Each structure stands twice: as structure tokens, then as C-alpha cells.
Amino acid sequence: MKVSRPIVIQGVIQSIIVLLTLSGFALMVVEGQQAASLALFVLAALAI
């Protein structure tokens, strides 16, 4: 259990990052603001 716990936490964090990225992309499409696209690029950089 101690070995698998960091993997689970990393998976949850990665899932949250994906959700935030999709949310930022949706905001960029709907609102078309450069601020949303900038946030999307920041989230993409963090995902890497």
C-alpha cells in the first residue's frame, strides 16, 4: 500500500490537471479570450 499510494496521488493530480486543461480549452472556445488561452498554455506546461 505504501508503494502504490504515490502512484494513486499522481494519478489524481494528473486527472485534475486534465480537467482544468479541458475547462480552460472550453473557456477559450466559448469566450475567445486570450487570458483563457494563456491559462491553457500554463496548464499544458505544468502537465509536462
Mean pLDDT (whole number) for 25-48: 74
Residue 39 sits in which domain range?
Answer: 4-47
User: Cα–Cα distance between 31 and 37 in angstroms, integer?
Assistant: 10
Q: Determine the length of the chain.
A: 48
7-25 residue pLDDT tens: 888 889 999 989 888 887 7
Q: Name the more confident of 14 and 47.
A: 14
Q: Which residues contact 20 (CB under 8 A, 6 or more apart)?
A: 43
User: The whole model's pTM is what?
Assistant: 0.47
User: Cα–Cα distance between 10 and 34 in angstroms, integer?
Assistant: 30
Number of domains in the chain: 1
User: Cα–Cα distance between 48 and 8 in angstroms, integer?
Assistant: 18
